Amino acid sequence: MSVLVVMEQSRLAWHRMSWEALAAGQQMGPALGIPVAAAVLGHGAAALAGELGGKKLDKVYHVEHELLDHYTADAYTVALAELVDMAKPSMVLFPHTYRVRDFAPRLATRLGGLLVSDVLRIEVKDGAAVAVRQMFQGKLNADYRAAGGGTQYISIQAGAYRAEHVEAGSAEVEVLTPALEAAQIRIKVEEPFRESARAVDLTAADLIVSAGRGIKEQENLSLIQELAAAMGAEVAASRPICDNGWLPMDRQVGSSGQTVAPKVYFAVGISGAIQHLVGMKGSKCVVAINKDPNAPIFEVADYGIVGDLFEVVPALIEEIKKAKG
Amino acid sequence: MKILVAIKQVPSRDSQLKVSSSGRWMEDADLSAEINEPDAYALEEALQLKEKHGGEVVALCAGPARASQTIREALAKGADRAVHVEEEDLGRFDLLGVAQLLAKAAAEVKPDLILTGLQSDDLGYGQTGVILAELLGLPHSTIIMQVEKTEAGIRVKRELEDGWFQHMTMPLPAVLTIQSGINKLRYATLMGIKKAKTKEVKQLSADGLGVTAAPKVSLERVYMPQRAKQTTLLPGTAKEQAAKLAEILKFEVRVL
């Protein structure tokens, strides 16, 4: 019985969400009365393992292999399956990153388990862990409990736990070399790249007016542009608007776009799926205009208007012009 | 190339959800339904690959009888045939159980490529494609933005975080989960809708596939989330709401 936190690194640099998962692990260990270990996979990752050795943990696993130099789902699944078989944790925690989304369901399946993905928090009820996650784009929460006695696999949503809560300490580092062979890796990866440099830097904007699905048609974007012009704000959008080609991709706010923290963020017709919220919840003031009073965007809004944006926005443009005199 | 596309029927996006009296699900009988949006992009990608390289597109859907509407739409858009694993209560299976149903059905089709959306708009696990790959022993990749056929298999463009991408190659058969926005969705034509009526839909069942429900994870309770932040809701007509907001922006937030 133990908690195992699987950390994430690329090119020997930590993914920041690893520390959030580690913070979750450090809370779960005492809550369940079981030891906590953490693992780092890679090639030449001794320094990272050493850094983990300075945290309050019962054990650090440094899984070292040249075939773990670049991430592939095949190699990570083989290496981690071997680690879990050996360490026999009762709970495995991951940060819910794009990479974890790629391999963790496969790993859990191979080990006869099932991943509960994108978890907001883990509660302990009657000595058992209950994982809370969102459904229906954040409109509902749901509690999940393990049905059998097997290992629980849980990935932790970005921002659900706080990296600065990670406690320092000391832990023994064990180096493991998994039995990994090149023939097991069916996928050949090329170097990651960025598409042409971003033309628009939304991160520097003080005011942002952002449009979502609620605007319905491309022509209606002029309403958003008018509001932005009246405010002196940048125009942005949630993913579906950019997917439709209504605005260029570099206007996108969210996990696959830019992360912004303006003085005021106007979310107009944006329901507030988590992929969008992670890109804007650091805004100092959030104003949401949406017809659905249960839209998750109101979870993070300071000011909310429940109503038809096609009535509210024209009125708002007029009032702003008046207020600016 | 024979391409299998796993599609799911989900409640429409603007559905007003109400938790059912059991507290374990929501009242879904009266909700209107539609194809899961990421799956629509997966279907479109399959249709485009077929147009380029020839072959066949088979739609696979697990769900109740009413999911046949979504299956017909896929056929109307151009899928050649479909497999419907008809199950009135998918909720008795966990995610792994549903993936097992799909894997058994997929194995009968023997596709060269399996595509599905990267996640569902309702449960949002984002795992079905990956589990399917493991159950079938196939390589996979997720959050795919581009698919090209090569001599030896496929080369795909995977989306990473913060605007990064990566190309990778893999042999076929393989499983890919498709990101929304990879292509431009088509509408069904009148001709397509007419043709769909004559296309084959093979009916399978959990019993027939030999899959029994043995959940590893149980969904205990669903509920409306509690508000973490105190939101000031502005009352009144649109004009009153707008006037109040302008006042707040000027005197409290001080950005006007």
Phi/psi for B39 (5° steps) reads -70, -30
For chains A and B, count residue pairs whose Cβ atoms are closer than 8 Å. 240
Q: Which of B123, B131, B238 sits opposite A312 (nearest CB)?
A: B238
Q: Give the Å distances, CA to CA, from A102 to A51, A74, A209.
A: 26, 10, 33
Do B127 and B117 meet the contact criterion of CB atoms below 8 Å apart? no
Residue A243 to residue B167, Cβ atoms within 8 A: no
Q: Which of B8, B10, B6 is nearest to B122 (CA)?
A: B10
Q: In this structure, what is the dihedral angle of CA atoms A91, A97, A98, A101, given to the nearest 10 degrees?
A: 20
State which of A127, A161, A190 marks the end of a domain.
A190
A232-244 confidence digits (pLDDT tens):
999 999 999 998 8
Residue B169 neighbours by CB distance under 10 Å: 17
Query: Which SS3 state, helix, strand or coil, does residue B183 take?
Result: coil
A200-250 confidence digits (pLDDT tens):
889 889 999 999 999 999 999 999 999 999 999 999 999 999 988 899 888
**A320 and A279 assigned to the same domain:** yes
Do B156 and B141 meet the contact criterion of CB atoms below 8 Å apart? yes
Residue B19 to residue A148, Cβ atoms within 8 A: no
**A282 and A320 assigned to the same domain:** yes
Q: What angle (nearest 5°) sits at the alpha carbon of residue A273, between those of residues A106 and B144?
A: 45
Residue A186 to residue B139, Cβ atoms within 8 A: yes
Domain range spanning residue A283? Answer: 196-324
Residue A46 belongs to domain with CATH number: 3.40.50.620
Q: Which of B221, B241, B246 sits opposite A320 (nearest CB)?
A: B246
B251's tokens: 């005197």
CA-CA distance, A168 to A51, in Å (whole number)? 10
State which of A190, A224, A250 marks the end of a domain.
A190
Q: Which of A192, A245, A315 sits opposite B164 (nearest CB)?
A: A192
Pairing relation of β-strands A207-211 and A234-237?
parallel
The residues that bridge with A151 in the sheet, in sequence order, are none
Rounded to the nearest angstrom, the minimum Cα separation between B191 and chain A is 25
**A201 and A74 assigned to the same domain:** no
Q: Give the Å distances, CA to CA, from B71 to B2, B95, B129.
A: 18, 21, 18
Residue B20: pLDDT band with limits 50, 70, 90 = confident
Report domain extents, chain B: 2-209
B34's tokens: 């539609």
**A248 and A283 assigned to the same domain:** yes
**A152 and A25 assigned to the same domain:** yes
State which of A173, A190, A207 marks the end of a domain.
A190
**A181 and A56 assigned to the same domain:** yes
Residue A234 neighbours by CB distance under 10 Å: 19
Q: Which of A115, A140, A299 sits opposite B223 (nearest CB)?
A: A140
From start to end of B164-236, where are the E strands? 164-171, 174-178, 201-204, 217-223, 232-233
CATH 3.40.50.300 assigned to B2-209: no
**A171 and A57 assigned to the same domain:** yes
CA-CA distance, A264 to B176, in Å (whole number)? 39
Residue B249 to residue A312, Cβ atoms within 8 A: no
Query: Which SS3 state, helix, strand or coil, does residue B192 take?
Result: helix
B33-76 confidence digits (pLDDT tens):
999 999 999 999 999 999 999 999 999 999 999 999 999 999 99
Contacts of B180 in chain A (CB under 8 A): 239-240, 243
A80-132 confidence digits (pLDDT tens):
999 999 999 999 999 999 999 999 999 999 999 999 999 999 999 988 999 99
Phi/psi for A204 (5° steps) reads -90, -5
Q: Which of B251, B162, B142 is nearest to A101 (CA)?
A: B142
| Amino acid identity for residue A194 in this structure | R
Interchain contact B137–A (C-beta under 8 A): no
Q: What is the mean pLDDT of chain A?
A: 94
A251-260 confidence digits (pLDDT tens):
999 988 888 9
Rounded to the nearest angstrom, the minimum Cα separation between A172 and chain B is 32
Phi/psi for B169 (5° steps) reads -120, 150
**A177 and A143 assigned to the same domain:** yes
B138-186 confidence digits (pLDDT tens):
999 999 999 999 999 999 999 998 778 999 999 999 999 999 989 999 9
Do A84 and A151 meet the contact criterion of CB atoms below 8 Å apart? yes
Residue B209: pLDDT band with limits 50, 70, 90 = very high
**A171 and A206 assigned to the same domain:** no
Q: Return the pLDDT at A133.
A: 96
Residue B238 to residue A256, Cβ atoms within 8 A: no
Rounded to the nearest angstrom, the minimum Cα separation between B84 and chain A is 24
A9-33 confidence digits (pLDDT tens):
999 999 999 999 999 999 999 999 9
CA-CA distance, A149 to A129, in Å (whole number)? 12
Task: Go through A129-141 and write b for each residue having 16 or more CB atoms within 10 A of its CB, e for each that does not.
Answer: bbbbbbbbbbbbb
**A10 and A94 assigned to the same domain:** yes
Counting the structural domains of chain A, the total is 2
**A250 and A290 assigned to the same domain:** yes
Q: What angle (nearest 5°) sits at the alpha carbon of residue B127, between those of residues B121 and B132?
A: 120
**A201 and A162 assigned to the same domain:** no
* ipTM, interface predicted TM-score of the complex: 0.93
Q: Give the Å distances, CA to CA, from A59 to A76, A165, A169, A268, B217.
A: 20, 19, 11, 48, 28
B111's tokens: 């596709």
Q: Return the pLDDT at B164.
A: 87
